[in-house]
Amino acid sequence: MTDARPGTDRHPVGGTPGLPPRRVNDRGDAVTDLRRIGIDPDFWYPVAVARKVAKGRTFAAVFAGERIALYRGRSGRVYALEDRCAHRQVPLSMGVVEGDVLRCCYHAWAYRGNGHISQIPYLPKGCERPPRGVRSYPVREAYGLVFVFPGDPAKAETAPFPVLPQYDAASHRTMTFSRTVRCHYSFMHENLLDMNHQFLHRGVLGRIQPELLGYESGPRSVEARYLFVPAGGRKDRGAGLLSAEGIGGRERPDVVTIRTEYPYQTLQDVPEGADLPAFSLWAAYVPEDAEQRTCHAYGLLMIAKPPVPGVIHLAWPLIRRFTERVFAQDRTAVEAEQRAWDEQGEDRNHEVFPLILDVRDVLRSNGVPLGPEAVRAEA
């Protein structure tokens, strides 16, 4: 267990391969600017809400500047191909689905789900086809989302995949979020882990004081435990909801655990003696552009149903409105952070919270360089 006292300096930060350090951060460690570190592609990332990929239709997705054409064939299976025809580079997402084949809208070249060319309608007999088709991506459909593996396909089978037992549990109901946020993905990890920003939500949650009970750090993860206490000794509306009292009807607040397990993030409240969380959030922040200054946030908020039948359905619109308001405020803040980075050309913020210094270490050491020109330092 890591001491939660501010200013504790626990371990040095190693340099990122390919990006030599230029300065030191407030903890005295030589580091590379985290906002110039790309996300590791060798993981499963959601790139679409499954219901938006209709049978017989295409869907234009993207991962870190790579355009991906999703399509659902007649069999119901979803395929993912490089979104450009091998012939004239026209997006395949503009094409037509025929059975389990995707046909380009321009000259009608047809592609199988593995990216191989199945037909060039006007090719004379005896003429050779091009030696290559287009890249295909491993695909998995789960939790109402479509995941692709944008990295080395040989690693897809052994790469960790999210395990969310409460998603399919009859005792829980799930709310899905899908929003574009104009910031580097690391700002999102920091925002959720650092609950000291609750002042931002005072108009929605009321005045509450998060108490950091402690946290643990590892090479690929950081996990923090918080208790939410009403700031003025009264029952604020936000403290009750964050402690799951407003959902489960319990009188005592529970410890909320927030974890970055690279590259995903979770927030959970597990009551003592329970098998599943009273509520939990699973989130992935998927870069959209090549510079990775914009990401798409996919979130699954899984909430335990109260003992009284039907209450969760009546409360659902209010829960949705509440969470949307909180997320909108967070988005405003992290997008302002990104604008400051863009204006200054580097990360000039002075972080003092050891927890956030640790999660930056995790994101930096597990990420990949965006390019040689990305050598900047975090002041």
* Mean pLDDT, each 10-residue run in order, the chain (379 residues): 39 40 53 93 98 97 98 97 95 97 94 94 79 93 98 97 93 95 98 92 83 95 90 50 45 79 94 79 98 97 90 91 94 97 91 95 95 44
What is the structure's pLDDT at 218? 96
Distance CA 320, CA 327 (A): 10
What is the structure's pLDDT at 379? 33
> Is the distance from CB of 12 to CB of 357 less than 8 angstroms?
no
Q: Which is nearest to 91 in space by CA: 70, 76, 77, 75?
A: 70
What is the structure's pLDDT at 349? 84
What is the structure's pLDDT at 141? 98
What is the structure's pLDDT at 30? 61
What is the structure's pLDDT at 28? 54
What is the structure's pLDDT at 13? 38
What is the structure's pLDDT at 18? 44
- Where do the domains of the chain lie, and which CATH numbers do they carry? 23-38+161-374 (3.90.380.10), 53-137 (2.102.10.10)
What is the structure's pLDDT at 204? 84
Distance CA 363, CA 180 (A): 20
Spell out the residues 6+ positions from residue 237 whose beta carbon is closer than 8 angstroms to its own: 205, 206, 246
What is the structure's pLDDT at 90? 96
pTM for the complete prediction? Answer: 0.86
> Is the distance from CB of 165 to CB of 143 less than 8 angstroms?
no
